[in-house]
Structure 1
Amino acid sequence: MKFAERTGVEALPNENRNIVQLPLGLLGFEDVKQYTLLADPKESPFVWLQMLEAPKASFLVVDPFTLFPDYQPDVTEDDIQFLGLDAPQDAAVFNIVTLRSDGSASINLKGPIIINRQTLQGKQVIPVNASAYQVQHPLPIAS
């Protein structure tokens, strides 16, 4: 299944504070299973994926299709079944953004986080076509 359309946070349900379950955690944070999405879609495409177990820790994430309309992560059938997805529009896709002290930024296009919009269960996946993407793809920052 390929995800090639805008699938951001505005379509996720609001009950339960958008508690997202990541049963396998994120790379480097495998023990953290519950997150919440904090966003104001009017302000920017960026949102915070905040750890519930450590509220002061969060990841800046973005709907990749707002910045890279040609981005098409091809997800395995095993990942689709794990997430319970029936169609691409059932998924919200986010990628982690890294901000550096020198003002530069990058986005991890190789490891998207895919969340089922209905169940709010998610997983960080490695797409079949991951070799086409970078872990630290430069992200232009407007001044």
Structure 2
Amino acid sequence: MSSVAEIEITKTQTVQLPLGLLGFERIKTYSLITRTDQAPFHWLSVTDGDDLAFLVVPPCLVLPDYALDMSDDDADYLEIRNPNDALVFNIVTLKSDGSGTVNLKGPIVINRHTMIGMQVVLSQSNYAIKHPIQAA
């Protein structure tokens, strides 16, 4: 989580998360912010006035063989008919020393056509909630 007061927006898309994020269920509308100078990272920022944003990254950039094995119910809820319909991001937590972790077990899956998403819990996977990464 980070303050978004000083983030210069390059590209933004509104994302609806009707179920919210785990621990933030009351927040339903976010902006997905992309800045070319921060690639491959993006920000998922609260749009309702809260000064709150989550740093997110596509999982394949952390773990190239990452496999999203979401349930049929979740895929139906999001109207995802094939893998190309989905944008997938994982929340990053950074520490002051430059190290950090990525939650690979709870990806945020967004239908790229409707921009409606949800945080999926991959309960049958061996992915870690705190997969270590090293910032460049």
Q: In structure 1, which of residues 132, 136, 139 is the aligned counterpart of residue 133 of structure 2?
A: 139
Q: When the two structures are aligned, how many residues end up with a matched partner?
A: 126
Letter of the 2:57 partner, please give it: V
Runs of 4+ in 1 over 4 A off after TM superposition: none
The normalised TM-score by structure 1 is 0.82
**Identity rate, percent:** 48
The normalised TM-score by structure 2 is 0.86
Q: Which runs of 5+ in 2 are unaligned?
A: 1-10
Q: Distance in 1 between matches of 2:100 and 2:51?
A: 21
Letter of the 1:44 partner, please give it: A
Letter of the 1:141 partner, please give it: A
Q: Deviations over 1:8-62 (max 9, x none)?
A: xxxxxx7xx4110000000110000000111124641100000011352100000
More helix by share: 1
Ranked by relative contact order (alpha carbons within 8 Å, sequence separation 6 or more), the top structure is 1
Match in the other structure for 1:5 = none
Q: Which runs of 5+ in 1 are unaligned?
A: 1-13
Match in the other structure for 2:78 = 83
Aligned residues: CA RMSD: 1.5
Match in the other structure for 1:9 = none
Letter of the 2:53 partner, please give it: S
Query: Residue 69 in 1 paired to residue 52 in 2?
Result: no
Q: Distance in 2 between matches of 1:128 and 1:76?
A: 10
Q: Point out the more displaced range, 76-85 or 96-105.
A: 96-105
